[in-house]
Each structure stands twice: as structure tokens, then as C-alpha cells.
């Protein structure tokens, strides 16, 4: 199904009106719109022990979190509920493309897309097992009627100075969004475990790897439309993003090859996707190539938002307004995730 909306544009500049005395001209344009999103699903594990891939013992019926079928089903229902609402203010069927992280395997994604609230979207799945020491991966869901998959691959992040350290792969997906080629890179960069400063080099390495992937795509197609998304475990202003990935937040300062960080302005306003010690971070970022800013013929960037509705927030107490989590320690909260989803809209003018 294709979705349309209208925007009213004012073509006459104020200065022009002052000098000519003419009235503003209003023209209605028709646009096709699609939503693209990212969501950290916070420990979406199944209930089956799997010691061969990672440390999932606490997410089993006998584990510390007593992770049984009832809680697992509630977790899936909660995730599907949020996904069903993301971006629907402009795109009634929600995200055409949704990157995810903190999923144990393909099986949990297969269970997720069958949940009643999103089953009618017929989401398809792209997933590869990562070498992550916890056994969690990134993945991508897409609506087959809107996005046509052409290729996918998984790129491993290695650390020569610490060969035993294993983290998530970066997922590279290419395909046609309503007939137009687009490339998605889904990330979940190394955590801040051990402290932000001490762990920083690992995220810088992740940023450099992602930049290498971007460059490889642009070498083949200098005008490629690329969206880098993910939980970067850093803010838009951190070195891993601004220097290693070369993602900037001000359009006027973009140099050739730089990426535009669509979440920069939200971060500067104090809006975040997760909270820690009474401060907000915006780790869940959406970053685009400049072609999505400049292209007048095809899809281009419209705006980015954070889905932080009250129903997925802590309602009271010290952490009121924080994301309502599934667990705090071993205490089951019945919530959603410790991260809010981020999402953007791309639009394309319908020519008469």
C-alpha cells in the first residue's frame, strides 16, 4: 500500500513581499512518504538455553529472571505494540524498514513479526548470527510490499589488540524502497562497560568500520542514498560519530563525503533515547548520506523524531519519564525497553 500526505509550502520570501508588496502564494504539493526506524529491543531472548552462542542462562525459566513463556510472550506483545505505533502520524502502516538490536536469534524475530498488532504488515527478516559474547545480534525488518531486498551481508568488527573481545556485527542491507535503491547499515556498537573513556577506542573502531562500509558503497555509487542506524552507545557529539564516522549535525558545515546526523538537533535540545543518572543520552541515531538531503527527484529526508510517548515511560517515582524497562535487575517491570525508538520520514514529490 502506498501512503500520501500533503504539505503547504510558502514560496514567496518575506523580504520579497516587503520590496514588491505582493501577497504570499500558497501551493499544495502531494508527497509519497515512508517511515524508517530503529529500536533497541532490550534483551529479546527466547526461553531456550543456548550456551553455544552466548551467556543466556539468566533468560531461561530456571534463570535469575525466571524467563518463561508467559513473560516472553508479554515482551513480544509489548515490542509489537510500540512498533505498531511508530511513525503512524504520517505513515499509517508504520516503519517500512525497522532496524533492531539486542535480539538473541532469528527465531525471536520470527515470533515478533507474528504478533497480532503487526502481523498484517507481513514483515520480512534480515538476520545473521554475530560473535557477540552475550549472544545478541542486530537485525532488520521490512515490509515486502514497500521494500524489495536485493542484498545483505554481515561485517565483523575485530580488535587485533584484544582478539578475544567479541561484539555485534554490522548489518548491511541494500534494496529498493518503492523502486528506488537505498542502503541501510544497522549497528550496535560496543558498550561503555568499564567506563566511557576506557571503552571509547572500541566505539571509535566501530565508527571507522562503519565509515569503511559507507565508502565502499559510495565508491560504486557516489550518489548512493545511505542510512546508518543503530545504538551507537555514544551521543551524536562523540568522537566515534563526528570523527570516525564523519557524521555532522549542521548542513552548512558538511564537506564532501560527510554524513548528516539527523538526530543532532534533538540531542542539542536535551532529547534522548535513554536516561542514566539523571541525564539523557541519544545513542539511537539515524544518520544519512547527503544525497538524501539534496535529491529533488527521488526520496529525501523530511524529519526525525523520538517515540517517547507516556505509555512506554516510567509513570512515577525517581525514574518518572525514563523508558519503562522489562526488568530492573531481576525485578520484572512488565515494560518495554530501556531505549526509546528513533525514526525518520523520507518523502518524494508526486509529479503530475
Give the CATH number of the domain where residue 24 resides. Answer: 3.60.10.10
User: In whole angstroms, what is the distance from residue 134 CA to residue 281 CA?
Assistant: 23
pLDDT digits (tens, 9 = 90+) for 71-113: 999 999 999 999 999 999 999 999 999 999 999 999 999 999 9
User: How deeply is 97 buried, as exposed, middle or buried, from its count of CB atoms within 10 A (0-12, 13-18, 19+)?
Assistant: buried
How many domains are there within the chain?
A: 1
User: In whole angstroms, what is the distance from residue 301 CA to residue 293 CA?
Assistant: 6
Mean pLDDT by 10 residues, the chain (352 residues): 44 32 56 96 94 78 94 98 98 97 98 98 97 95 97 97 95 97 98 96 98 98 97 98 98 96 98 93 98 90 98 94 94 96 95 74
**Locus of grid cell 527527484:** 297
pLDDT digits (tens, 9 = 90+) for 149-198: 999 999 999 999 999 999 999 999 999 999 999 999 999 999 999 999 99
Domain range enclosing 344 = 4-349
Amino acid at each position: 500500500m502506498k501512503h500520501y500526505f500533503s504539505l503547504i509550502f510558502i514560496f514567496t520570501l518575506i523580504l520579497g513581499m516587503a520590496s514588491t508588496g505582493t501577497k504570499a502564494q500558497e501551493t499544495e504539493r502531494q508527497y509519497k512518504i515512508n517511515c524508517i526506524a530503529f529500536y533497541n529491543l532490550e534483551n529479546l531472548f527466547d526461553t531456550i538455553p543456548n550456551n553455544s552462542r552466548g551467556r543466556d542462562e539468566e533468560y531461561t525459566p530456571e534463570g535469575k529472571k525466571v524467563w518463561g513463556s508467559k513473560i516472553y510472550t508479554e515482551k513480544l506483545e509489548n515490542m509489537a505494540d510500540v512498533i505498531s505505533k511508530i511513525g503512524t502520524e504520517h505513515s499509517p502502516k508504520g516503519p517500512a524498514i525497522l532496524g533492531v538490536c539486542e535480539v538473541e536469534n532469528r527465531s525471536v524475530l520470527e515470533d515478533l513479526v507474528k504478533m497480532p498488532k503487526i502481523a498484517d504488515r507481513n514483515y520480512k527478516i534480515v538476520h545473521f548470527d554475530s560473535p557477540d559474547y552475550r549472544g545478541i545480534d542486530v537485525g532488520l525488518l521490512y515490509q515486502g510490499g514497500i521494500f524489495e531486498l536485493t542484498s545483505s551481508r554481515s561485517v565483523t568488527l575485530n580488535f587485533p589488540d584484544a582478539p578475544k573481545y567479541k561484539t555485534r556485527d554490522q548489518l548491511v542491507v541494500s534494496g529498493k524502497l518503492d523502486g528506488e535503491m537505498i542502503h541501510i547499515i544497522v549497528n550496535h556498537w560496543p558498550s561503555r562497560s568499564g567506563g566511557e573513556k576506557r571503552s571509547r577506542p572500541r566505539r571509535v573502531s566501530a565508527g571507522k568500520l562503519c565509515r569503511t562500509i559507507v565508502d565502499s558503497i559510495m565508491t560504486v555509487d557516489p550518489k548512493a542514498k545511505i542510512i546508518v542506524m543503530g545504538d551507537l552507545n555514544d551521543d551524536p557529539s562523540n568522537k566515534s560519530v563526528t570523527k570516525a564516522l564523519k557524521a555532522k549535525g549542521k548542513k552548512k558545515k558538511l564537506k564532501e563525503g560527510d554524513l548528516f546526523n539527523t538526530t543532532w538537533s534533538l540531542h542539542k535540545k536535551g532529547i534522548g533515547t535513554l536516561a542514566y543518572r539523571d541525564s539523557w543520552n541519544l545513542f539511537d541515531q539515524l544518520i544519512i548520506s547527503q544525497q538524501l538531503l539534496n535529491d529533488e527527484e527521488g526520496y529525501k529526508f523530511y524529519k526525525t523524531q523520538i517515540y517517547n510517548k507516556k505509555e512506554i515511560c516510567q509513570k512515577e517515582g525517581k525514574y518518572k519519564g525514563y523508558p519503562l524497562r522489562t526488568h530492573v535487575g531481576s525485578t520484572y517491570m512488565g515494560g518495554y525497553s530501556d531505549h526509546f525508538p528513533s525514526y525518520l520520514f523520507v518523502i518524494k514529490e508526486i509529479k503530475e
